[in-house]
Structure 1
Amino acid sequence: MYDLVIGNGRVVDGAGNPWFRADVALSKGRIVKIGRVAPDQAEVFIDAADHVVCPGFIDAHAHSGIFLLINPRGESMIRQGVTTQVCGNCGSSLAPLNDVNRDYIRTRYGPLAEEVSWDWASFGEYLDTLEAQGTSLNFVSFVGNATVRTAVMSLDYRTPTDAELAAMKALVAEAMRAGAFGLSTGLYYSPSGFAGTEEVVALCTVVAQYAGIYHTHIRGESAMVLDAVTEAIAIGERAGVPVEIAHHKAYGRAYWHLIDDTLQAMVDARARGVDVTCNVYPYLFGQTGLEAMVPYWVHADGQAALLKRLQDATTRERIKQDMRNGLPGWESHVKATGWDTIVVARCPVHEAYEGKSIAQIAHEAGRDPYDVALDLMVTGLEGRGRTAIRIYGQGEADRRKVLRSPLSMIGSDGYALAPYGALAKGFYHPRMYGCFPRLFRKYVREEKVLTLEEAVRKTTSLPAQKLGIRDRGLLREGMWADIVVLDPQTIADKATEDQPYLYPEGIEYVLVNGEVTVQQGEHTGALAGHVLRHTT
């Protein structure tokens, strides 16, 4: 007798093979048979009704580290069919923490920080905290270079001493032994971008000793995008680690053509033996914090110094000049796309601004858009709530090129939210609720950019392969039973820019480690996810 059987489905196994008809039998959380199984051989029988049965989606790039501590049900992600999220990205993990960086890391999350205990220090203790609480999703995390750097150097904008570099390497090694899957950077941001290439190579040599990977939000995504991809590849090549380039794109019409060159650079690197891949989300706009619009040097020495610089009239003029023109090694997003492409997503101190561009807000107020943006940064630093922004300016042709590349997988760049409680506030990106269904609706069913089987591969076995997770990502006997049952004719994202908190359609069942977690589109309350720890 099997614990559960999913019958009468079209199995898409995750390897890119054409679908085939089969039943899938589970026992003790794992797949034990794929073939013909009678319904009366199961304690629980799910009739897939000729729908697709495929592996659970692995979100290759996400930021749910704190959100799953606040609401372990992972509502907005599990209902998309996501069964595993990869977090600790863009240089920002929730550990290691110490007396040097704890307050800084906490303040990055604004009011949400009050929802969490923050009673861990090491990377292993953080994973233990999440594991003890439970979660509906399997959880993977990198250790972030910004978190490590601030634990050793606070917010100093300089090259580390030999002793400081050794201390950072020791923290990375400790995290890898505790289960981190590798090192992440967010070189586009401060303080991650304070690190030069040599510093990142040094940390990645530690990662190589534990067979981890280097996952990076590269240093620039407009005029610098090719140079930034080249830097990422060089880091992996020199340190001897695989490379994953996060949410690959080019902002600004003048730079869209560079995607051809970046994709070719990855192909050329692989020909040399560098295991480089990328991930992508199926939208033409992103979301980040407004503070990312100012240069590295403005962030140096901590938030008090940042606030002082923003409030000083002379220094503010210098900041505005650098934002207009850019700096060597730092790319100005405002210069690349303009204030009309930068839209307020969340602004606790001025909720009426949400949904408006900085250019529109400035026009309505008769003010300079640079001053509008810098004043919003000031209010956030004063503790009244930081401003999140959406950034437009990506190209549809570029998106299709990256999606079609055999080197790309899917990462939402999102958070596991819920339309209730503490995680229901703000004007978030619709990818939090709709990333994966949108891929299957828009780019598979409607536009046929990908076949169904290709899309499933990019959301399952490819990220599992990259992470070295050998017992998930495929429907095979012996694998953990992370499974989605979806209707390929109705699967669709419902979340929009104006209404981002809408669950998708067409995801009928989601199983995590054999436990039914979504049943006929509704969460069952199961917290069957595992905290996955990397091992060599």
Structure 2
Amino acid sequence: MYRTFVSSIFVAIATTCLAQDYDIVITNGRVIDPETGLDAIRNLGINGSEIAAISEYAMEGSVEIDATDLVLAPGFIDLHAHGMNLGDMRMQAMQGVTTVLELESGILPIADWYAEMERRQTPLNYGASAAWTFGRIAAFTGEGPVAELSYFQDAQRFDDWKTQIADPLRMAELLDLVEQGLKEGALGIGVNAGYAPGYGQKEYFALANMAAGYGVATYTHVRYASNLEPQGSFEAIKELIANAALTGAHMHICHINSSSLEDIHATLDLVERAQAQGINVTVEAYPYGAANTVVGAAMFSGDGWRERMSSTAQNFQLGADRMTEQELADYQDNEPGTFVTWHFLDENDPDALALLDASVTHPAVMIASDAVFWSYFDESGAVLNYEGSDWPLPDNVFSHPRSAGAFTKILRSYVRERGLLSLEEAIRKMSLMPAQTLEEFVPQMRKKGRLQVGMDADIVVFDPTTVSDLATYENANQPAKGVHTVLVNGSLVVENGELKIDADSGQPIRRELER
């Protein structure tokens, strides 16, 4: 009798707690949490910016979202996103991304960049690393740095910062600039080494040592991308692993797919061996056989670069069209900061596709888009960054398809159509793994990448039977479909598959400032 009475009290209390009103309730969805392994039909209650309840029992909320036959997952976290304008973020939101971070290239000065971002409308969470390339450009040119992407683009007309070893004074100056970025809250050090491969061994070691000293990561676009030796992809990955082992730094390899080209099995073997020995190396890839880069990049210069990269002008695409040798030469000479699409693997070739798949499906590799800004041609034919607020984006705006579809391509191609990844594994690669990469030194990330009570309400709800990327190389300006709902810090950014134009709930992701 007593036991029955006590049990009744507990049931009544539980029922009362679950019946309380929440700000938002998502009902009857398949909840997948990659950390605990939960994969079940549940109801989810949100109060403010946090997940307040996950239960089999009914809930009521001020806003109720029916997720029957839909999947609830942690919002996707993109560690490698260059596009940070409003249009860029909106395209990312439509594919379920809730946090975009500029880590490979980074930016300087960091304080200026965060201050500017706080003045903007930001539907997604955002953050950046301290940019080694910006520090190097400033040390060699005596100008800047300026916290704008155009600073990096304009510097493509200068060669010294790309090709020369820094003397002691320049080395000290560029390292001071990077360190100042860390003191201002940068999320580590962005080492875009492929754009300045002439740096010395001591400089890269110093960057890794600085990262270890501050307890942060480096995010490296490795020095070389080449199928041939010397100065091949294998050598570049080996250099990074050596610095991680010598300094103890956490060193992250950006887009190992495009950095490795046809040598992906050898470079993945290096990563496996390093991780097995406890060397703190993490890895990302994007699911495309084409990169987006400036046409004047150092890797597309010098004797024999076509042989090393297995490329001709036909591997380069500007807008919807492949380039001719004359066009390539003209842009390299006169507009070297122009971003182009570079097809390093032909996805229509089964052997090339198998190489790409090896990088995407490897258990140690997380997904990051390398999304680039949206652009347009002005009246003179120059390519300019699009910074407007129109939605949908104007018809004349273009980019790389990964900017609109990297994460949904994983769900469509790798999960649903080809069965190369389980749904649970794909979600882990796009949410928990990126969060875990940063959480040791960015405490905010400990509450992201999970669907658990007390975690941030960064959530994507999608239809696993229809979720798809629509963007192509010829027409990247096509938002993804099949994403039903996106919440960022508990606020709706996508509702019933439609973007909320006034969404502005993104928050800065930033380390604590040094005092």
TM-score tier (shorter): 0.7 to 0.9
Instruction: Give identity over the alignment, percent.
Output: 31
Go from structure 1 to structure 2 and tell me whether the alpha carbon gap of 1:129 and 1:293 turns closer, same or farther (over 3 Å shift).
Answer: closer
Given the alignment of the two structures, is residue 226 of structure 1 paired with residue 230 of structure 2, yes or no? no
Counterpart of 2:296, as a letter, is: E
C-alpha distance 170-150 of structure 1, shift in aligned 2 (>3 A): same
Is residue 2:190 matched to residue 1:184?
Answer: yes
Q: 1:87 aligns with which of 89, 97, 102?
A: 102
Alignment of 1:7-46 (within 5 A): 7-15=27-35, 17=37, 19-40=39-60, 42-46=61-65
Superposed CA offset, 1:301-332 (max 9, x none): xxxxxxxxxxxxxxxxxx6xx34x2xxxxxx2
Q: CA deviation at 1:149?
A: 1.2
Where structure 2 has 5 or more consecutive residues not aligned to the other structure, the ranges are 1-20, 142-159, 347-351, 377-385, 440-444
| 1:11 Cα deviation from its structure 2 partner | 0.4
Relative distance call for 1:456 and 1:338 in structure 2 (3 A) is same
Match of 1:259 in 2: 264
Q: Secondary structure at the match of 2:296?
A: helix
| SS of the residue 2:293 aligns to | strand
Aligned partner of 1:529 among 491, 494, 506:
506
CA distance in 2, matches of 1:16, 1:502: 35
Residue equivalent to 1:407: 364
2:447: which partner in 1? 471
Determine the structure 2 residue equivalent to 1:56.
75
> Residues 311-330 of structure 1 correspond to what in structure 2 (within 5 A)?
322-323=302-303, 325=304
Cα distance change on mapping 1:470 and 1:262 into 2, 3 Å: same
Please give the alpha-carbon distance, in whole angstroms, between the structure 2 residues aligned to 1:135 and 1:37.
35
Question: Residue type of the partner of 1:32?
Answer: A
Using the TM superposition, give the Cα deviation of residue 467 of structure 1 relative to its aligned residue in structure 2, in angstroms: 1.2
Note if contact 1:214-1:236 (Cα within 8 Å) is conserved in structure 2. no
Contact 1:341/1:392 (<8 A) preserved: no
Partner of 2:25: 5
1:170-249 aligned at under 5 Å gives the runs: 170-189=176-195, 192-223=196-227, 224-249=232-257
How far is the alpha carbon of 1:194 from its aligned partner? 3.1
C-alpha deviation, 1:72, in angstroms: 6.4
| 3-state secondary structure, aligned to 1:209 | helix
How much does 1:182 deviate? 0.9
Equivalent residue letter for 2:429? K
In the aligned structure 2, how far is the partner of 1:35 from the partner of 1:18? Answer: 12
CA positional deviation for 1:173: 2.1
1:418 & 1:34 partners in 2: Cα distance? Answer: 42
Q: Distance in 2 between matches of 1:379 and 1:404?
A: 40
Contact kept in structure 2, 1:7 and 1:37, CA below 8 Å? no
CA distance in 2, matches of 1:418, 1:53: 33
Q: Give the letter for the 2:135 counterpart.
A: V
C-alpha deviations, 1:485-508, integer Å up to 9, x for none?
000011011111222111111100
Change over 3 Å in CA distance of 1:11–1:161 after alignment to 2: same
Counterpart selection for 2:91 from 64, 72, 76: 76
Cα distance in 2, alignment partners of residues 415 and 130 from structure 1: 17
SS of residue matched to 2:371 = coil
Secondary structure of the residue aligned to 2:399 is coil
**1:509 aligned to 2:485?**
yes
Letter in structure 1 aligned against 2:98: T
After TM superposition, give the deviation of residue 270 of structure 1 in Å: 1.3
CA distance in 1, matches of 2:58, 2:436: 33
CA-based RMSD? 2.4
Between the aligned partners of 1:338 and 1:73, the Cα distance in structure 2 is 29
When normalised by structure 2's length, the TM-score is 0.81
Q: Does 1:378 align with 2:333?
A: yes
Matched to 2:178, the amino acid is V
CA-to-aligned-CA distance 1:2-41 (integer Å, 9 cap, x gap): 111111100011327252111111112011111135343x
Cα offsets for 1:446-493 (capped at 9, x unmatched): 111100000000000000000112110111111111000000011011
When residues 197 and 421 of structure 1 are mapped into structure 2, their CA distance, relative to the original with a 3 A threshold, is closer
Q: 1:401, CA displacement in angstroms? A: 1.5
CA distance in 2, matches of 1:170, 1:95: 12
Structure with greater strand share of residues: 2
**Distance in 1 of aligned mates of 2:316 and 2:36:** 38
| Deviation of 1:73 (Å) | 7.1
Q: Is the 8 A contact 2:309 2:344 kept in 1?
A: no
Give the secondary-structure state (helix, strand or coil) at the position aligned to 1:291: coil
- Shift of the alpha carbon at 1:174? 1.8
The answer on 1:451 being equivalent to 2:438 is no
Where does structure 1 lack aligned partners over 5 or more consecutive residues?
Answer: 97-122, 296-318, 326-331, 347-353, 362-368
Q: 1:266, 1:335 → 2: CA distance? A: 23
Task: Give the residue type in structure 2 aligned to 1:80.
Answer: Q
CA deviation after TM superposition for structure 1 residue 333, in Å: 4.7
